[in-house]
Chains A and B, each alone.
Chain A
Amino acid sequence: MNILWEGFLQGMGGLWTVACVVIPLMIVLEIAESNGLLQKLNRLLAKPFRVIGLGEDGAFPVVVAVVFGITYGSGVIINHVRAGKVTPKEARVIGTFMAIAHALIEDTIIFWVLGAPLLLLLTPRLILAYVMSYVVHKRTPNVELANGDNLKAMD
């Protein structure tokens, strides 16, 4: 029983530390989002995204995934692809970027609170995501597509 209690206390202690960071952060994030800061960030990043072959519509799912997580980013991609806003090639670039770098705020905080340095948590993921997406962008041939539903063209 003693062992279970000890593990429980350790878990609760760690949880408390994380909660003290996560709750204030979510408030800040909500305020930033309500003030349209996500769109501003998207515009700011337009140039670096163009290098890996993503237009404004293609960059948005990446920004969403990086800030909120892969599930949200995927939701946006699926909608964009379906609406013909994103080509299958772009979807592949976005998928690569997203798989490596997503939920950077939440994932980073968990381990930052446990003692890992912020810079090491963030930069390798961002750099490798960018480099791998660049490689995918350069190596995937362009496919001419009819307008409309691009989802079928990907199968």
Chain B
Amino acid sequence: MFEVTGKMVWKGTKTGLLTTWELAKVVVPTAVIVAIFRASGFLDTLTALFAPYMGFFGLSGEAAVVLFSGYFVNLYAAAGSIMALNLTISEITICAVMLGFCHSLLVELPISQKAGSPLGYIFIIRLGCSLAVGWLLGVILP
């Protein structure tokens, strides 16, 4: 038996709006901060600094901002950075796949620990998968 009630639609809409609001609180400020980074020239400094390492994953130096905001803050912040930067689709893809494995570490590592897995073990697995797959995609994606 499959049924659709107005209550379900309303509850889903509420969850969706709530998610959008949570998203807004991070995405918009991040986009503004990255815009400031770019205008002030700080982005160029960062880009130059990380370009050699990012090349390993087939990424430009700018993408370091996306990876760091994803690893340490969350995926919304990474999305905000992507919106404010001019990355190619393949760069966005590589960042996205890398960040899928490893993100919001400051929040999620303690959660994993609470669920019974050692912090260091989860950290190594997640970062390891992220870097390995990032490297692989950098090699195979055009």
**Do they bind each other?**
yes
Residues of A within 8 A of B (CB): 3-4, 6-8, 10-15, 18-19, 22-31, 34-35, 70-71, 73-74, 77-78, 81, 88, 91-92, 94-96, 98-100, 106-108, 110-111, 114-117, 120-121, 124-125, 128, 132, 151, 154
Instruction: Report the bound CA distance from A26 to B19 in whole Å.
Output: 9
* A99 partner, pick from B12, B13, B27, B112, beta carbons under 8 A: B112
Contact between chains at B31 and A71 (CB < 8 Å): no
Contact between chains at A74 and B126 (CB < 8 Å): no
B32 → chain A, closest Cβ, in Å? 4
The 22 sampled A-B contact pairs (Cβ below 8 Å) are A4-B35, A7-B36, A14-B80, A14-B82, A15-B28, A18-B27, A19-B23, A23-B20, A28-B12, A31-B8, A34-B3, A91-B115, A92-B117, A95-B122, A96-B125, A99-B112, A100-B125, A107-B100, A115-B93, A116-B97, A124-B97, A124-B100
Instruction: Provide the residues of chain A in CB contact with B125, threshold 8 Å.
Output: 96, 99-100, 132
B60 → chain A, closest Cβ, in Å? 16
Cβ of B17 within 8 Å of any chain A Cβ, yes or no, is yes
| Interface size, B (range) | 35 or more
Cβ of B30 within 8 Å of any chain A Cβ, yes or no, is yes
Contact between chains at A11 and B20 (CB < 8 Å): no
B96 → chain A, closest Cβ, in Å? 4
Contact between chains at B23 and A3 (CB < 8 Å): no
Instruction: Provide the residues of chain A in CB contact with B133, threshold 8 Å.
Output: 124, 128
Give the nearest-CB partner of A19 in chain B. B20
Interface residues of B in 1-31 (CB under 8 A from A): 1-5, 8-9, 11-13, 15-17, 19-20, 23-24, 27-31
Contact between chains at B31 and A11 (CB < 8 Å): yes
Cβ of B59 within 8 Å of any chain A Cβ, yes or no, is no
Contact between chains at A35 and B100 (CB < 8 Å): no
Contact between chains at A11 and B27 (CB < 8 Å): yes
Give the nearest-CB partner of A124 in chain B. B133
Contact between chains at B20 and A22 (CB < 8 Å): yes
Contact between chains at A114 and B112 (CB < 8 Å): no
Instruction: Provide the residues of chain A in CB contact with B30, threshold 8 Å.
Output: 11
As a 0/1 sequence over residues 87 to 111 of chain B, the CB contacts with chain A under 8 angstroms (1 = contact) are 0010011001101110100001001
Contact between chains at B35 and A7 (CB < 8 Å): yes
